[in-house]
Amino acid sequence: MRRETPLRRSLTARLLALSALVSLCSIAATAWLAARTTTGAIQQEQTQAVADHTRIYRQLLGYAATHPDWSGAQDTVRQLAAATGQRIVLATPRFEQVVDSAAGGPPAQGLAADRTPTAIVDPLSVDLAMLPDAPADRIDARAVGPFRLTAEEHEALRNELEQQAGCVRSLLGVEATVVDDLAGRPQLRTADGRTLGRRCTTPLVVSAPTRTEAAALADLTDLANACLARRQLRPVTLSLGPDGAPDDSGQDRATSACVTNARRQQLVQYVAPPVLLFVGTPAAASSGGPPVLTAAHPGRVTEVSALVLAVTVAVTVAVGLRLSKPLHALTHAARRMADGDLTARVRVTGRNEISGLAAAFNAMAERRGQLEELRKAMVGDIAHELRTPLSNIRGWLEAVEDGVATADRALTGSLLEEAMLLQHLIDDLRDLAAADAGELVLYRELVDVEEMLGQVASAHGARAGEVALTVEAEAPEVFADPVRLRQALGNLVSNAVRYTPAGGSVALRARRGTDAVLIEVADTGSGIAAEDLPLVFERFWRAERSRSRRSGGSGLGLAIVRKIVELHGGEVRVASTVGEGSVFTVRLPAPPVS
Ligand code: ADP
């Protein structure tokens, strides 16, 4: 019955499915990994960029708060650019370049091309998005203008606070130090982080505003009150807060707005004018920004995946076809053989597993052919062997029936001999068939070799006639099936006697080898030609093709000898010289030592 492999179960289809699955998995894993790593890297870069921007902004804001213009900012900008690895450009609100960290490098237009600054640096209007911890009035704490203490005032205030710190330490047991705040004004700071300033509630003298501060405060109050008057609001008297800055707490919103405006008005001449800040990586300035994942990328990933998949499929199909071609040839040859064509062979190419299989198939086909030849020859031989004695029996019986011959004692003896020959042939065939099928069971025991050789010699003594039979045994015992061993030795002695002319001799010898017992049957008979020696143990092989009944047996004798000896774990060999005689040597394993 022919069974074609369905396409879905074919080797190529399975290989294809497997490799498609593997490549899909690896594409997915690679894409996932790449996306994760890239996203992580971008996030890290963004976090770093935000930190860098804040740092740059805060520092430039400090510069602007303490300088009336940007003329000396080049060094600060350069240092910042070197520390952050960013290119920094400052420009006026009309995009006129003020400072460029890469002065002398490529023009800054690229950086400002999109005209969206990173931030606006204005100490009087701090960008809360950049510095969320800025004061509520958005005036940078470092912008003090006319409130800046003179050196003497600073020194005096510091000394006064040092004394207070000593008192705090000794009276309250609290660690206290004097530090300058953001505005550059000395402050008393305790170990727990609280700034006592001039609100120190200890019975210590609280320092009043210095002369400079008082003057600036008066100016500020005037400015604020002018604004309040315009809005018809009540005038205020401003004082310094705990942080040294003018205090407008407790005022309503409108008043606070006037105070803040007044502060801006007062400080504007002391701080640098607002500038646009542009920050970017040096490469980004010319290439237009760092590489980022855009909507085009997923499409590209799909394209590459499809390409990888297509290549995988093409390669797999090619490999699959290459693999399955010799397998198809093998299947075809095996089917031809099953249909009875014993000449079916496959071409062996290369040195891989499939060519190994093809070579094994060819060897099997070759062996099968030989066995078939052997079987045919054997059937022919058996038919021939049976035909001769049967023809004899039939011929004589017909002669008796026709009255041509009389059924006397001599005739019945001759017929009996032919019948026994037939019996012998059938027994031999049965033994061989049983041995081939592994059904020839041995009943082993310790056998006295000398005794056995004596029995075999005397059994053939009558037939030996003019041939002298001698026994010479030195080996004590073998572990064997006595019936089968006697059968094998009997066949050898029977042959020896048959092929030895009158006056010759047959010697049965046994001796012990190193790990075996050697039994020899040596005759001084016709001998066997050297080219025939490898054939004597084959079934139905005879040197004398005529198969004469006088000299011939069944043609199976030596084949049976070899089978029996091999079943005992031994081997049988022959050495012979034409005209001088033959020596058959049976080698059996020495019996186990008990
Ligand atoms: P057969 O029944 O013909 O003896 P065997 O298998 O016993 O069959 O022997 C096969 C052939 O081997 C014999 O026909 C004979 O030609 C040759 N042969 C066997 N034993 C001897 C021997 N002792 N001397 C010479 N030829 C022998």
Indicate whether this model's pTM tops 0.85: no
Most confident of 108-112, 142-146, 289-293, 570-574: 570-574
CB-based contacts of 215, cutoff 8 Å, min separation 6: 146
Which atom from ligand 1 is nearest to the alpha carbon of 525?
Answer: 24
- pLDDT for 109: 52
Q: Which residue has the higher pLDDT, 268 or 476?
A: 268
CB-based contacts of 385, cutoff 8 Å, min separation 6: 425, 540, 547, 554, 555
Q: Which residue has the higher pLDDT, 136 or 454?
A: 454
Report the C-alpha gap between 164 and 63 in whole angstroms: 32
Residues in the chain: 594
pLDDT in tens, 54-79: 999 999 999 999 999 999 889 999 99
- Report the largest interatomic distance among the alpha carbons of the chain, rounded to a whole angstrom: 175
Among protein residues, the one whose CA lies closest to atom 11 of ligand 1 = 542
- Residue 435: band (very low, low, confident or very high) from pLDDT cuts 50, 70, 90: confident
* Token pair of 277 as six digits: 């800040």
Among protein residues, the one whose CA lies closest to atom 19 of ligand 1 = 495
Percent of the chain predicted with pLDDT > 70: 89
Q: 414 CA to middle of ligand 1, Å?
A: 23
Q: Which residue has the higher pLDDT, 199 or 248?
A: 248
Mean pLDDT in residue range 167-196 = 75
pLDDT in tens, 75-114: 999 999 988 888 898 988 888 888 888 876 555 554 445 5
Say which range, 278-292, 388-402, 456-470, has the weakest mean pLDDT: 278-292
- Residue 291: band (very low, low, confident or very high) from pLDDT cuts 50, 70, 90: very low
Q: Which residue has the higher pLDDT, 197 or 332?
A: 332
Cβ pair 442, 484 in contact under 8 A: yes
Q: Which residue has the higher pLDDT, 204 or 361?
A: 361
Any atom of ligand 1 within 6 Å of the Cβ of 525: yes
Say whether pLDDT at 369 is over 50: yes
Most confident of 129-133, 435-439, 553-557, 570-574: 570-574
Report the C-alpha gap between 275 and 277 in whole angstroms: 6
Any atom of ligand 1 within 6 Å of the Cβ of 555: yes
Mean pLDDT in residue range 272-289 = 68
Mean pLDDT in residue range 255-275 = 91
Any atom of ligand 1 within 6 Å of the Cβ of 557: yes
Secondary structure (DSSP) of 277-297: EEEE-HHHHHHSS-----THH
Any atom of ligand 1 within 6 Å of the Cβ of 499: yes
Q: 530 CA to middle of ligand 1, Å?
A: 14
- pLDDT for 3: 56
Secondary structure (DSSP) of 467-504: SEEEEEE---EEEE-HHHHHHHHHHHHHHHHHTS-TT-
Any atom of ligand 1 within 6 Å of the Cβ of 425: no
* Token pair of 520 as six digits: 């020899």
Say whether pLDDT at 228 is over 70: yes
Say whether pLDDT at 288 is over 70: no
Report the C-alpha gap between 224 and 265 in whole angstroms: 10
Mean pLDDT of the chain: 84
β-strands 477-480, 516-523 pairing: unpaired
Give the residue, out of 382, 558, 565, 583, with the most ligand 1 atoms within 8 A of its beta carbon, to mutate for a pocket test. 558
Q: Rg of the chain over CA atoms, in angstroms?
A: 61
Any atom of ligand 1 within 6 Å of the Cβ of 582: yes
Any atom of ligand 1 within 6 Å of the Cβ of 495: yes
Among protein residues, the one whose CA lies closest to atom 12 of ligand 1 = 536
- pLDDT for 594: 61
Measured CA to CA in angstroms, residue 308 lies from 4, 14, 29, 38, 311 at distances of 32, 19, 14, 21, 5
Q: 482 CA to middle of ligand 1, Å?
A: 23
Give the residue, out of 382, 536, 548, 580, with the most ligand 1 atoms within 8 A of its beta carbon, to mutate for a pocket test. 536
Any atom of ligand 1 within 6 Å of the Cβ of 488: no
